[in-house]
Amino acid sequence: MKFLVNPGKFNEIADYIFKPLLFLSFIFFALGLLFSFYLSPDDYQQGSTVRIMYVHVPSAWLALLTYAIMTFYSIMALAFRIPFGFIFNTAVAPIGAVFTLICIISGSLWGKPMWGTWWVWDARLTSVAILFIIYLIIIFMNYSFENRIVREKVIAIFILVGSVNLPIVKFSVDWWNTLHQPATISKLSKPSIDSSMMTPLIIMTLAFIMIGIAIAILRIKTEIISRKSNLS
């Protein structure tokens, strides 16, 4: 597991797994789109709009997961002085921001036919919007410091302080009465979703994870090269 903390080892492994990963993600995307458009049933209440779920839910999960991994890497980087954590934070923040944006946009496209409005000031929606702004602040911080050492450590501290938002996003549907529905799958008891809808959701989630890892590998490699040549 040394390739998760060592840039040289990471480069070696990344060269091996990048192309298979990209190929697999395309296959899973094709399969997932096929399943979600043709092989999964309509919802008895929502009709065909339930298919937005197959984009909305994976991107929301990945937005949270990306931030959680960034928090983990920030702790590693600050506590154990592992510079790969800083490289990871710089490279991966835009990916998380894009996933959050996909989640917000697909959610509001889903909300218009179901709730009758593009946006409500609901606890879940607001906390996800705050998550998006936190991602944006991290990206802007990357461009506003002259000194690289100060910049990456300040960003890591900011990520740690901002991670208080994560449990708020996750539990907002339980703590407050929200229009957004509570968790269906990621809860302690058995998932209350039918397997015919669960299958495309899992396939799409795998596809999203793979494309996310592939883009992350590209960005981390670019970041390592630019640090080696002292461009940033």
Partner 1 sequence: MKFLNKIIFFYFREYKLNMSGVQDILTNIIFFFVSIFIFIFSIGPDKETISLIGVGIVWTLLLLSSTLSLRKFYQDDFENGNLLIIHLNGLSFGFIAILKTFSHFLFVQVPFLLSIPIACVLLNIANDKLFYLLTSFGIASLTLSCLGSISSSMNLMNQRNYLLGSVIVMIFSVPIIIFSVSIINMEENFNSLINILFGILLIVFAINPWASGLCLKLSLENN
Query: Between residues 24 and 136, which has the closer beta carbon with respect to partner 1?
Result: 136
- 45 touches partner 1 by CB under 8 A: no
The C-alpha atoms of residue 94 and residue 207 are separated, in whole angstroms, by 19
Alpha helical stretches, state H, 81-122: 83-115
- Residue from 23, 37, 118, 140 touching partner 1 (CB under 8 A): that is 140
With contact defined as beta carbons under 8 Å apart, do 9 and 2 qualify? Answer: yes
Q: For residues 137 and 123, what is the distance between their CA atoms, to the nearest angstrom?
A: 21
Q: Of the two residues 18 and 158, which places its CB atom closer to partner 1 in the complex? A: 158
Q: Which of 16, 38, 44, 143 binds partner 1 (CB under 8 A)?
A: 143
Residues 6+ away with beta carbon under 8 Å from 182:
173, 174
Quote the tokens at residue 49: 């709009």
Q: Give 38 or 146: the residue with its C-beta nearer to partner 1.
A: 146
Shortest approach of partner 1 to residue 149 CB, angstroms?
Answer: 5
How much of the chain is helix, strand and coil, in % rounded to 5?
Answer: 80, 0, 20
The residue within the footprint of partner 1, chosen from 27, 133, 183, 193 (CB under 8 A), is 133
- Tell me which amino acid residue 12 is: E
Q: Write the binding mask 113 to 132 for partner 1: x where contact by CB under 8 A, - elsewhere.
A: -------------x---x--
Give the footprint of partner 1 on residues 144-183 (CB under 8 A).
Answer: 144-147, 149-151, 153-154, 157-158, 160-162, 164, 168
d(CA 164, CA 4): 25
Residues that bind partner 1 (CB under 8 A): 126, 130, 133-134, 137, 140-141, 143-147, 149-151, 153-154, 157-158, 160-162, 164, 168
